[in-house]
Amino acid sequence: MAHETITLPRRHNRAAAFSLVELLVVIGIIALIIAILLPTLAKAREASNRTKCLSNLRSLGQALVLYANSSNGKLPNANPAETADDAAAATAVLVALNLDHVRAAAVFHCPSDVDPLPLQIVTADYAKPNSARTSYDFYSVWWMPEFGPKIAKIKDAPLAWDLEGGKPTLGWQNHGLKGGHVVFTDGHAAWQPREEWDKENWPHPAQKYYRAS
């Protein structure tokens, strides 16, 4: 008796794989998700940076008050007579401010600033590394010494602020073109819109108290 051979159908185990079209669709979806998330992540990062910047300025404000308390009420200023802008004098007093009262170079750096984080404070020159004015400027160093400034006489004046937060064009701004943070003599720090600044690097009400002549 002849034996009939029965051939069973083979199972084809097709390996799971993406076609080129499917791969491109997945890549497109991922790119779209990234494009949607990036602005949100950037806003969250800037919000975090602003919080840290405000904290830095509050710390600087407290240090300036301590400096004044130990200097007969006078804020940091070593300018020569009849001089409102002296680079060496600014360096001397701001380096001393850090050594005696701040004791942390990173406090002088806004996290939104693209300039390198200072490792120590050795100068007040804007353009040099390790500067007290890497990210912020200081009201008192711009005064002629004949006129102060005495902290008790400038009331709600600014003490320190984001560099050129009032400048209407791209420059040194830490947070773009809309304004900058300012710390005041009463210790509070706040955002001040660019339109409210007295000058490009002069927040309100700096001009109210300033005397240079």
pLDDT at 5: 58
Q: In order along the chain (213 residues), what is the average pLDDT of each group of 10 residues?
A: 54 59 80 76 81 97 97 96 96 98 97 95 97 98 94 95 91 87 96 96 96 70
* Residue 15 within any structural domain of the chain: no
* Residue 33 within any structural domain of the chain: no
**Helix and strand totals (H; E) in the chain:** 3, 4
The amino acid sitting at 84 is: A
pLDDT at 92: 98
Where in the sequence is the domain holding 99, given as residue range(s)? 47-209
pLDDT at 10: 52
d(CA 104, CA 110): 13
* Residue 144 within any structural domain of the chain: yes
* Residue 17 within any structural domain of the chain: no
Measure CA 102 to chain center: 17
pLDDT at 44: 75
Whether the CB-CB separation of 169 and 177 falls below 8 Å is answered with: yes
pLDDT at 91: 98
* Residue 28 within any structural domain of the chain: no
* Residue 40 within any structural domain of the chain: no
Tell me how many domains the chain contains.
Answer: 1
What pTM does this model have? 0.81
* Residue 18 within any structural domain of the chain: no
pLDDT at 115: 94
Burial of 154 (0-12, 13-18, 19+ CB in 10 A): buried
* Residue 68 within any structural domain of the chain: yes
pLDDT at 69: 96
d(CA 180, CA 135): 11
pLDDT at 166: 93
